[in-house]
Structure 1
Amino acid sequence: MKYLIIGLGNIGPEYADTRHNIGFMVADELAKQSHSSFFNMRLAYYTEFAYKSRKIFVIKPTTYMNLSGKAVNYWMQELRIPVENILVVVDDLALPFGTIRLKPKGSAAGHNGLKSIEGVLGGTDYARLRFGIGDNFPKGRQVDYVLSGFDPDEQKELPALIDRSVEFINSFVSVGPELTMTRLNK
């Protein structure tokens, strides 16, 4: 069994620890816990490892958020991963900070990375791990908010939340989305 985990974010030091890059942060921790390293490959930072006799491929697209679908499409084709075995890790304004939810499918909800992926996959039938970043911003300041860093209180909670996200991913690849949602979505 092969799985492709996609952590969404933007490349470059100016984006490193921003809310929009939580997908990259989760992917980094997943790689760290599996003792693997990322390599700059075609359209993405790429790593792979085995987990419970499954082959896990992890990418962090280097295309910038708005073109994430290009990297996802390339690596799905290259590795021959079926859509039901992909999981996109994404920041979500609609969820309060610290809320993590696995969804088997759903709309892009205005997220440009998900819109790009939907465009290349031709639909919304792919799993996503939604990491709540809250929506504590003045009207019209959404872009500034998602591209800003986490508040000091949030920063204290991030390591445990990122670990919890890795737990979701490990569960997704070992027991599937339904059982993972039953066990871990709260």
Structure 2
Amino acid sequence: MIKLLVGLGNPGQKYTKTRHNAGFLFLDELVNERVLEFSRQSRFYGDLAEINDARGKLYLLKPATFMNRSGQAVSALAKYYKIKPEEVLVAHDELDLDVGVLKLKSGGGHGGHNGLRDIIASLGVKDFKRLRVGIGRPRPGMQVVDYVLSDFGKSERQHIKELYSDFFNYLPLIQGGDFEAAMQKLHSD
């Protein structure tokens, strides 16, 4: 079962619409759809919301640290609520997928992603789940850092919001512990 859903991004208004904040956008859409609210939780170094339903409690966390310190928030909340790494799903931007492609993955390395690198270091394992949000690659000659910190285009942002809304249909499977079935359905659609 997934008990903690983390969206990665950078805090601050200037990063709100950037590609690197695809994980924050994911949780913002989920919170809006479920009519929930985030509250700042300093002991968890982030903003927290909760979904309570028949499947149990699902914590939604947006770290208030910068991307390269995301593990501080994830490990603080996981330790406090005794959540195992395999019960964590992290939504993050992914350069190796085209814009708007969503893929689920179980475990793996950081692939150069500083947020994932810090979570792996903080949890001490790679065994958490991931929702990889495609942001595509920069055009030739553009630095990766400039690209990930650039804003999504309006149509790209709208497309991703629609994909997120569709993805939320798989959340009961994921939350209920049937990650493989959710992955099969997502990847076959």
Please point out which of 149, 152, 155 is paired with 1:153.
155
Q: In structure 1, how many angstroms separate the alpha carbons of the residues matched to 2:74 and 2:122?
A: 8
For residue 3 of structure 2, what is the aligned residue in structure 1?
A: 3
For residue 96 of structure 1, what is the aligned residue in structure 2?
A: 98
Q: Shift of the alpha carbon at 1:177? A: 1.4
Q: In structure 1, how many angstroms separate the alpha carbons of the residues matched to 2:53 and 2:98?
A: 30
C-alpha RMSD of matched pairs (Å): 1.6
Please point out which of 113, 116, 138 is paired with 2:115.
113
Residue type of the partner of 1:112? N
Q: Is the 8 A contact 1:90 1:128 kept in 2?
A: yes
Q: In structure 2, how many angstroms separate the alpha carbons of the residues matched to 1:9 and 1:164?
A: 21
The structure 1 segments of at least 4 consecutive aligned residues displaced by more than 4 Å after TM superposition are: none
1:20 matches 2:17? no
1:67-124 deviation digits (Å, cap 9, x = unpaired): 0001000000111111111100000001111110000111111000000001011221
Residue type of the partner of 2:26? V
Q: Is the 8 A contact 1:25 1:162 kept in 2?
A: no
Q: Is the 8 A contact 1:94 1:135 kept in 2?
A: yes
After TM superposition, list the pairs within 5 Å mapping 1:1-186 onto structure 2: 3-42=3-42, 43-139=45-141, 141-186=143-188
Q: In structure 2, how many angstroms separate the alpha carbons of the residues matched to 1:132 and 1:147?
A: 14
Q: Is the 8 A contact 1:73 1:120 kept in 2?
A: yes
Q: Is the 8 A contact 1:26 1:166 kept in 2?
A: no
Secondary structure of residue in 2 paired with 1:136:
coil
TM superposition score normalised by structure 1: 0.93
1:29-81 deviation digits (Å, cap 9, x = unpaired): 11122221000112000111213332110100001100000100000011111
Residue type of the partner of 2:39? F
Structure 2 residues without counterparts, runs of 5 or longer: none
Q: In structure 2, how many angstroms separate the alpha carbons of the residues matched to 1:28 and 1:170?
A: 18
Number of residues paired by the alignment? 186
TM superposition score normalised by structure 2: 0.92
Question: Percent identity over the alignment?
Answer: 37
Q: In structure 2, how many angstroms separate the alpha carbons of the residues matched to 1:66 and 1:45?
A: 17
Q: Shift of the alpha carbon at 1:154? A: 1.2
Q: In structure 2, how many angstroms separate the alpha carbons of the residues matched to 1:51 and 1:32?
A: 17
Q: Is the 8 A contact 2:89 2:128 kept in 1?
A: yes
Secondary structure of residue in 1 paired with 2:58:
strand
Structure 1 residues without counterparts, runs of 5 or longer: none
